[in-house]
Structure 1
């Protein structure tokens, strides 16, 4: 064991200059043992403050005179909970508004793309019809020329 540490201690490691190099080294380390399971961290879950904050607070008090020394801490705790609940509500409304805006923008882009496609399709069909018509006109004129030559 010690001899291995001494061997690697004297050798300089790979030089990492960019984030790409770091990512490459991490991938190489993972690929050294492909049978080893990769542990992915769980995604962040949003807290639901509506369930933790009571809807009705019976002991309403302020931080002004008349409150005992211990009551202020209770008041401060309830106030922080209420502020965090309001902040969460505002964040959720902003997120919903952004989602709605995104969906409307997607729908608008889809509609514009469909209009462009329909316009180009119509243009292609008109061009096909023109080409067909020109071919028929040429064919008819050639047939007339052949009939004139026969007479």
Structure 2
């Protein structure tokens, strides 16, 4: 795109490129920015939202559009009326936006509450199952201890040998319960 023919000053002359699409325009802007990456880029601030001037505290010489008003006064009246209508429209839009924001916040809060109820219900179910497993494991350990004690006193065969279930129970025993209260 850029011609490398040097100008009189020794700078390469660039060919004029007219962007035909928005993408080309964006690409050209990026290329121009990337030619000198050390240069700071000024990004404009967000434009302030338009707000009408507040109504005057005291209005002098109030005249309507008829009945004694001069021909020049009608334009003043029309301008004041238009400004007042714009101010009323602005206040209505602001109230509508505020109402929509409040409805949105209520909806977010409701969704958050419903999700918390759902996750709380599932959390209680998981903890209940975990407690059942722990109780079943303890009952099984007590049962194996009781049966081991009766077998060792009665038969005397497996006195020094541990069962494989006891080894796995010791390694699987939880040291704490997550989320327990």
**TM-score, normalising length: structure 1:** 0.77
Deviation at 1:24, TM superposition (A): 5.8
Counterpart among 77, 96, 107 of residue 94 in structure 1: 96
Counterpart among 104, 107, 114 of residue 105 in structure 1: 107
Q: Which has the higher contact order (CA 8 A, sep 6+)?
A: 1
CA distance in 2, matches of 1:137, 1:22: 75
Greater Cα radius of gyration, structure 1 or 2:
2
Deviation at 1:56, TM superposition (A): 3.5
1:37 paired with 2:40, answer yes
Deviation at 1:113, TM superposition (A): 2.2
Deviation at 1:23, TM superposition (A): 5.1
Q: Which residue of 1 aligns with 2:78?
A: 76
CA distance in 1, matches of 2:25, 2:146: 78
**Alignment coverage as a number of residue pairs:** 145
Call closer, same or farther: CA 1:78–1:133 in 2, change over 3 Å. Answer: same
CA distance in 2, matches of 1:108, 1:67: 58
Call closer, same or farther: CA 1:4–1:31 in 2, change over 3 Å. Answer: closer
Unaligned runs of 5+ in 2: 1-6, 155-181
